[in-house]
Structure 1
Amino acid sequence: MSDPTAFLAGQQYVELTTFRRNGTAVPSPVWIAPDGEDLLVVTVDETGKTKRLAHTSRVELRPCDVRGTVAEGAPRFAATATVHRDKAAVARVKRAIGAKYGWWYRALTTVEPALDRLPGRRKRAAIVLRDVVPLG
């Protein structure tokens, strides 16, 4: 595969696997969008994904369906992930996801500004994926 980043960017859903301190893999289906050389994922901050990425930047990626089901023989990739919480990074990932997923993403996020003002509402975070390489 000549460009693993482009391949993953073209997928509707990707299984993002993060790792616990003991090495246990924890997969999550996510939307993913390209932006330059990076792949971007938007998530709620202070979730398991962001907590696990605080201690290891290693992730694995595989194409999947909306439920996270990975087809037999699907290619697997390794990447380096960083979590960004600043407004500019979150805006960047929202733009990229919105551009890729269009009306579906906009429909899901229409009420987000109002919800963000509610007490206890968790903020969004941007996950930036780089250095994508195929695994075995």
Structure 2
Amino acid sequence: MTTVGEIAEAKYVMLTTYRKTGEAVASPLWAVRDGADLVMWTVADSWKVKRLRRDNRVLVQKCDARGSKTLGDQAAGIGIVNDDGARAADLIVKKYGVLGRLTVLGSRLRRGAAGTVEIRVRDVV
């Protein structure tokens, strides 16, 4: 059985959240392992965050940059939105280097510190 922490080792991860209708919606994101958890960083008012605040069930899977090709097994998880995205941003910078640093800086300039959130995914127990 694949864990969310193992999937976090991939360069890109497909995060699947659920609409009110139960329809699955997948989005490719950068991800970082933090202990046994998978951590992502995204825009605070994105639809994935809104869906996650309503229904914390998620699936994660390795994917390519565009999310058009998935790789390996999916892992079911519980997603938690942390309104302070600073730790996730720091972890993204460490993993993705210059590109991560530029992305985080650009986002902070456009949206401010409160414009992004951390999504933390834990294995379903």
What TM bracket, shorter-length normalisation? 0.7 to 0.9
**Structure 2 partner of 1:93:** 88
Change (3 A) 1:111 1:21: closer
2:119 aligned partner, one-letter code: I
Aligned-residue CA RMSD (Å): 2.2
8 Å CA contact 2:17, 2:48 repeated in 1: yes
2:36 aligned partner, one-letter code: E
Tell me the secondary structure at the aligned position of residue 38 of structure 2: strand
8 Å CA contact 2:77, 2:121 repeated in 1: yes
Task: Provide the rounded CA distance (Å) in 1 between the counterparts of 2:110 and 2:32.
Answer: 24
Where in structure 2 are the equivalents of 1:84-123 lying within 5 Å? 84-86=82-84, 90-116=85-111, 123=115
Task: Provide the rounded CA distance (Å) in 1 between the counterparts of 2:106 and 2:31.
Answer: 21
Of all paired residues, the percent bearing the same amino acid is 36
Gaps of 5+ in 2: none
Structure having the larger proportion of residues in helix: 2
Displacement of 1:83 after TM fit?
0.6
Where in structure 2 are the equivalents of 1:3-18 lying within 5 Å? 4-18=3-17
Displacement of 1:63 after TM fit?
0.9
1:5-52 superposed Cα distances (whole Å, 9 cap, x missing partner): 342121010110000011000000000001122211001011110110
**Structure 1 partner of 2:80:** 82
**Structure 1 partner of 2:29:** 30
Gaps of 5+ in 1: none
Tell me the secondary structure at the aligned position of residue 16 of structure 2: strand
1:107 aligned partner, one-letter code: L
Tell me the secondary structure at the aligned position of residue 87 of structure 2: helix
Change (3 A) 1:106 1:26: same
8 Å CA contact 2:17, 2:59 repeated in 1: yes
Change (3 A) 1:112 1:69: closer
